[in-house]
Amino acid sequence: MSNFLKNEETEQPQTLPHVQENLKNLGQTNVPNFESNIHCLTIIGQIEGHMILPPQNKTTKYEHIIPQLVAIEENPNIKGVLILLNTVGGDVEAGLAIAEMIASLSKPTVSIVLGGGHSIGVPLAVSANYSYIVPSATMTIHPIRMTGLIVGVPQTFDYFNKMQDRIVEFIVRNSKIKRDTFMKLMLKTGELANDIGTILVGKEAVDYGLIDEIGGIKEALKRLHNMIEEREKKKGEE
């Protein structure tokens, strides 16, 4: 983005002060002395797993997320987790590991797909107890692509099929979509420019049963607070 803004009256370009200058001018802001009982897990860019990706990739690192989830589960002050997703996919194993961790948390979890939740972002989105998607967000469902050194033998195909099966199985187990429907979307032709698969926009993901509901932060937080309340009630009865 350009560093210049047009002054509305004079139409003259103005230089914006640097961020740190701005902060200095604004002075210290007071942090409200209020502890949130909801923590949020922001999953953005590429999911980074076994391999460190080159620096042009914005990544979410698996070794950061997994211990954080453990801490969230263990901390009695944290009552619920909000998962914010805007990811283009990434490492299969890391994605599935994070998704399984979220799915097996005992605390209420709600996810929102913002912008995009593509490829391995799909299991991450459905891993929460309840999932939301904003109307403008998209989810791409496509087969795993083959790259690198590949031996042209039937076993290679079997291997890829197995990897894909792990992902599909997780999605079917954690959402309302049927396996057949999901496979049909994954293998659809004519939808993506140079690939097979489907792009689901907002409501479509809900119609197929992949995501629970359309909604943003307001709906997600309301749902999360309700779930926390219910859980506390149940605990009180025990």
DSSP one-letter code for 13: E
Binding site for other proteins (CB under 8 A): 18-20, 22-23, 26, 28-29, 31-32, 34-36, 38-42, 46, 53-57, 64, 68, 71-72, 81, 88-93, 95, 118-120, 140, 142, 144-145, 147, 163, 167
Taking the C-alpha atoms of residue 106 and residue 102, their distance in angstroms, rounded to an integer, is 9
Are 197 and 145 spatial neighbours (Cβ–Cβ below 8 Å)?
no
Q: Between 72 and 227, whose beta carbon lies closer to other proteins?
A: 72
Q: Least distance (Å) from other proteins to the CB of residue 52? A: 11
Q: Least distance (Å) from other proteins to the CB of residue 238? A: 28
Taking the C-alpha atoms of residue 77 and residue 79, their distance in angstroms, rounded to an integer, is 6
Q: Least distance (Å) from other proteins to the CB of residue 28? A: 6
Q: Least distance (Å) from other proteins to the CB of residue 69? A: 9
Q: Between 36 and 104, whose beta carbon lies closer to other proteins?
A: 36
Q: Which single residue is written with the structure tokens 């979307």?
A: 185
Q: Between 141 and 177, whose beta carbon lies closer to other proteins?
A: 141
Taking the C-alpha atoms of residue 210 and residue 122, their distance in angstroms, rounded to an integer, is 8
Q: Between 6 and 58, whose beta carbon lies closer to other proteins?
A: 58
- Catalytic, 142? Answer yes
Among residues 39, 111, 127, 142, the one annotated as catalytic is 142
Q: Which single residue is written with the structure tokens 């690939």?
A: 195
Q: Between 7 and 158, whose beta carbon lies closer to other proteins?
A: 158
Q: Which single residue is written with the structure tokens 């599909």?
A: 168
* Cβ-based neighbours of 45, under 8 Å, separated by 6 or more: 57, 58, 59, 60, 86, 87, 88, 90
Taking the C-alpha atoms of residue 122 and residue 186, their distance in angstroms, rounded to an integer, is 12
CA angle 50, 54, 55 (to 5 degrees): 120
Among residues 39, 111, 118, 119, the one annotated as catalytic is 119
Q: Least distance (Å) from other proteins to the CB of residue 82? A: 8
65: helix, coil or strand?
A: helix
Residues marked as catalytic: 119, 142
